[in-house]
Chain A
């Protein structure tokens, strides 16, 4: 008996032809599986687009959070410089903008009116640092750290409010992930069931192949390749529909959203990523479904 032989390239070619032929010969089964993939990927795709954009909004909201550090008005320039250095070197700080007390006063005059002009004689304000945390979720920790430094008068970052904001954002992210995963599992279940039906109908064929001396992989490979084609075919419509609608949506709405906190994700890399993901999921689901279904008939 010959040992395990590496499959010859022409046998791989045979499997490829066989898998394509099989799609045509089992046209109804092909149609059923492809529709199942199409429907689920369309759902998953739309959901991912929505989730990713909401995620983007959440990121924008988070990145809007900053800490305002007001120095002791009495602190001299040297002390302020030392404090700035300290703040910049604090771990977790990504960005520090220094506003002098005069700039701060100008800002106040702008928002509260010219009456404040009289303070220009002797400015009661201190310098301010606008600090951003590298991880917005760690804002409170960074603020606490900075508050311990000398010459800080006030450290403010919207205590209470931002914690709530972060809670809401984190929760919605988790819910989104769970929903996407649930949808994916449903899709895999649905598709593997459809494929299983097609293979049950072919259980007899598999039995015959094995009687003639086909190894498990010889039987399996055409089925798995068929799964690849089913996945690819099923991914086409969702990819086209989502690409076209997103480009349309993007070109319609993005101009109106200038300067808003909510921004649509740039169409170009985003849609390609979503398409790649859909294609990958289609192929994965198809292969997995075929593999699981054919496994049952290959035991013994």
Chain B
């Protein structure tokens, strides 16, 4: 599903954020990516949706090699992976329904299908009642649920989440995690960067620790056992 081979990333300012990363993630897995700030976790995640390209090495997702993927093809890659961010990244001038529908408009889905799929996914995240509200009228947890709904509305095989609970209080974080668990249960691969120790240690999944641009630990049913 996801494979990184000898991935090396050096930024123009000289920072080496990935220094020989090798990893393989199978279909349907749920993987936490943890590690201290500035350790290359963000770069690791960003390279998966081609926000950053590796300087060297191959990243293969769903059979597409991101290292050689031309800029023009990037939108087509992004349609196959759902991305969820710490800051939600919702379009401020579109309401909940329109934000989710946007991901389907992009792939030129028919209006009938859009209506059906958006309503289904809003029901899944429990936002049917708030479909006409705008992002600034929602709580953080609700905004994150919109963002998750948008990321899964066209049924991607992979969802990549970058600190999805970073801006949320503990109760809300658990709710969000419940949704991710549901999505994973349907067979969607999930890669989640997080700092949340309780979550990692309670909802057990594979844990990849990134430090100094390298994977220093990779354990199934792993724990979050460092400070930072």
Contacts and interface: CB of A to CB of B under 8 A. Distances in A.
B113 to A, nearest CB: 12
B49 A211 contact: yes
A213 B150 CA distance: 11
B171 interface: no
A2 B80 CA distance: 11
A218 B106 contact: yes
B186 interface: no
Contact of A11 (B77, B105, B150): B105
B108 A11 contact: yes
Contact of A212 (B51, B73, B106, B108): B106
Given A11-B105, A14-B105, A212 B111 contact: no
A2 B75 CA distance: 11
Interface stretch (A91-99, A132-140, A202-210): A202-210
B39 interface: no
A213 B71 contact: no
Contacts of B110: 10
B220 interface: no
A2 B76 CA distance: 7
Given A1-B64, A11-B108, A212-B102, A205 B77 contact: no
Interface in B89-114: 89-93, 102-103, 105-108, 110-111
> Which of B90, B91, B110 has the largest count of A CB atoms less than 10 A from its CB?
B91
A208 B90 CA distance: 7
B79 interface: yes
Contact of B78 (A8, A11, A14, A211): A211
**Range of interface residues on chain B?**
20 to 34
A211 B89 contact: yes
B74 to A, nearest CB: 8
A118 interface: no
Nearest to A214: B106
Contact of A209 (B64, B74, B91): B91
A161 interface: no
A300 interface: yes
A18 to B, nearest CB: 9
B159 interface: no
A83 to B, nearest CB: 74
Contacts of A2: 76
B83 interface: yes
Contacts of A207: 89
Contact of A213 (B75, B90, B111): B75
Interface string A1-22: 1100101101100100000001
A205 B99 CA distance: 11
Given A11-B108, A205-B92, 17 more contacts: A1-B73, A1-B77, A14-B105, A205-B91, A208-B90, A209-B91, A210-B74, A210-B78, A211-B51, A212-B102, A212-B150, A213-B75, A213-B79, A213-B103, A214-B75, A214-B102, A214-B106
What 6 A-B pairs have minimum CB-CB distances, sorted nearest first? Answer: A213-B78, A213-B79, A215-B75, A1-B76, A214-B106, A208-B89
Interface of A: 1-2, 5, 7-8, 10-11, 14, 22, 25, 205, 207-216, 218, 300
Interface of B: 49, 51, 64, 71, 73-80, 83, 89-93, 102-103, 105-108, 110-111, 150
16 contacts: A1-B80, A5-B108, A10-B108, A10-B111, A11-B108, A22-B93, A205-B93, A208-B89, A211-B78, A213-B77, A213-B107, A214-B75, A214-B102, A214-B106, A218-B75, A300-B71
